Structure 1
Amino acid sequence: MQEYANVRSTAGIRSEEIDAGLRAHMNKVYGTMSVGMLITFAAAWAISSLAVTTQPSLAAAQMPNGILLTDLGALIYGSPLRWVIMLAPLAFVFGFSAMINRMSAATAQLVFYAFAAVMGLSISSIFLMFTGYSIIQIFLITAIAFAGLSIWGYTTKKDISGWGSFLIMGVIGLIVAMVVNIFMQSEVMMYAISMIGVLIFAGLTAYDTQNIKNTYLQMAFAGDQEWLGKAAIMGALNLYLDFINMFMFLLQLLGNRQ
């Protein structure tokens, strides 16, 4: 962590100020991410609750596992709209990343929360496919793993910046494999994708944490609070995506289906 040593030892900026600023920055990152996670799971639960019914007279469709869907559920999960909902978070991320430099920090934070709600809509079907106990159990496993990986990424003296290009290539490969498996419907391939996905996003959790820390330290001289505010939101977005993807892949591997 040469950047950390350089910044802390530079005249004119006391190490205590750097340490306090870094702690505040990381608290902002984790706090924003946590609110986004809360919005996502609240939205997913609320939408899934509105999408199902126990009364056959009100059912518009039925899932293969026997769950009855309302008109809203049939629209979200049984019509071509489901492909739009599935791809909406990806389009949101690309658009957000491209436009964040034109936004204020406050606007960027609101857009991030809107994205978290859209993600909740996109993953809401997990409440119809997996048991509630299983979802909670996998969420706790993911949270423990994420915390350990993020702490390691923050505290390690090893420079892991070289992981970035390798991990991003892995993500691209995962996306291609997942698209292919939509048509193949291979259980073995899905299992392999999930295993590799957990490993890739575990690595990204540590990498992104260290990158957030290094970005703050590199910008410590500038004192541009608007830029640092947006950097915290982008950091929160990256860690949020790491958590969500690791959770979803673990759920595919270990979750108990309805």
Structure 2
Amino acid sequence: MPASSNFQQAIREANSSALVGPNVVSKALPYVGGGMVLTAGGVLGGLSMMSSPLYMPLFWVALIGNFILFFVAQNVASKGNNSTALPLLAAYSLITGFTLSGIVGYAVASAGIGAVGTAALATGITFVVASVLGRRMSDSIGQALGAVVGLGLLGLIIAMVVQVVGSIFAPGMFSTGGFELMIAGFGTVLFVGAAFLDFYTMPRSYTDDQYLAGALGMYLTYINLFIFILRLIIALQGGGRRD
């Protein structure tokens, strides 16, 4: 999971109270917003193609390509080469939206369009609250939260691997029901914590010139938060089953 490596790197680097990029958050936020807009466009594009036989081949190409593009963009952005990183991050955001069209389409079909709106609203509210409280977080709280989020990400990855493997042999047990509800709930709580942590770690992990690297990390936090809230809503709705 690209998000996990990004978080863990930021947590490791933010181990002191010294600010290396006091303005990095304010410089990164417009690009986080722009990335979200491009992602929404990618989702709409994917939804418009879902009935086409080309959708699934394009989905797999986009998924694999996006994974590679993440590491390329992260490497370029971390070096402060923003003129090169910006188009890479724009492409990454747009393709990410395309890969999310599947879960968004499923959410609309199983829980209604309101589920997507609720997930987006909850993500936005979390951002507003985190932007206020995360900046004021003390070093002791920030470093403790960083340790918890780091361990939580490891646990989440293990649980998701178990779910993928288990779904092959017992899809009714691992793909829906209590196990999916547990993962969705845990992921939601974890990325809410990560949302607060971002505002603490970014000024301590990135210089002001590395604002696109910081924007990528924050973008990943809120994309993952949106996904897990959406999964939680679907799980609470019974995965679309109608008794």
Distance, in Å, in 2 between the alignment partners of 1:46 and 1:85 is: 13
Find the counterpart in structure 1 of residue 55 from structure 2: 73
Distance (whole Å) between structure 1 residues aligned to residue 101 and residue 155 of structure 2:
25
Aligned residue in 2 for 1:235: 214
Task: Give distance in 1, aligned partners of 2:191 and 2:152.
Answer: 9
Once residues 204 and 165 of structure 2 are traced to their aligned partners in structure 1, the CA distance between those partners, rounded to angstroms, is: 41
Q: Does 2:106 correspond to 1:129?
A: yes
Unpaired stretches in structure 1, ≥5 consecutive residues: 8-20, 52-68, 220-227
**Larger helix share, 1 or 2:** 2
Corresponding position of 2:170: none
SS of residue in 2 equivalent to 1:124:
helix
After superposition, where does 1:48-63 map in structure 2 within 5 Å?
Answer: 48-51=47-50
Which residue, out of 142, 152, 160, partners 1:178?
160
Does the 8 A contact of 1:154 with 1:213 survive in 2? no
Of 194, 198, 205 in structure 2, the residue corresponding to residue 208 of structure 1 is 198
| Equivalent residue, structure 2, for 1:45 | 44
Tell me the equivalent position of 2:187: 197
TM-aligned CA distance change 1:194 to 1:90, over 3 Å: farther
Residue identity matched to 1:37: M
Go from structure 1 to structure 2 and tell me whether the alpha carbon gap of 1:152 and 1:184 turns closer, same or farther (over 3 Å shift): same
Asked if structure 1 preserves the Cα contact closer than 8 Å seen for 2:191 and 2:224, the reply is yes
Task: Decide which moves more: 161-170 or 115-124.
Answer: 161-170
Provide the C-alpha distance between the structure 1 equivalents of 2:213 and 2:98, rounded to a whole number of angstroms: 21
**Matched letter for residue 110 of structure 1:** P
- Which residue does the alignment assign to 1:36? 35
DSSP 3-state at the match of 1:125: helix
Report if the CA contact (8 A) 2:38-2:90 is conserved: yes
- In the other structure, the counterpart of 2:148 is 166
Taking only the aligned residue pairs, the percentage that are identical comes to 23
Q: Which one has more relative contact order, counting CA pairs under 8 Å at least 6 apart?
A: 2
Partner of 1:65: none
SS of equivalent to 1:161 = helix
CA shift at 1:73, angstroms? 2.6
Asked if structure 2 preserves the Cα contact closer than 8 Å seen for 1:41 and 1:120, the reply is yes
Residues 194-232 of structure 1 show CA distances to partners (whole Å, capped at 9, x for unaligned) of 11111111111111211112346xx5xxxxxxxx23x21
Shift of 1:179: 2.2
Please tell me the root mean square deviation across aligned C-alpha atoms, in Å. Answer: 2.7
Distance 1:87 1:194 in 2: 23
Q: Which has the larger radius of gyration?
A: 1
- AA partner of residue 160 (structure 2): M
Letter in 2 for 1:153: G
Residues 1:73 and 1:169: Cα distance change in structure 2 (over 3 Å): same
1 CA distance for matches of 2:158 and 2:77?
Answer: 27
**TM-score normalised per structure 1:** 0.71
Measure the CA separation in 2 of the matches of 1:30 and 1:103. 16
User: Which consecutive unaligned segments of at least 5 residues does structure 2 have?
Assistant: 1-15, 168-173
Between the two proteins, the alignment pairs up a number of residues equal to 209
Report the TM-score when normalising by structure 2. 0.74
CA separation of 1:26 and 1:102: change in aligned 2, threshold 3 A: closer
Tell me how far 1:241 sits from its aligned partner: 0.8
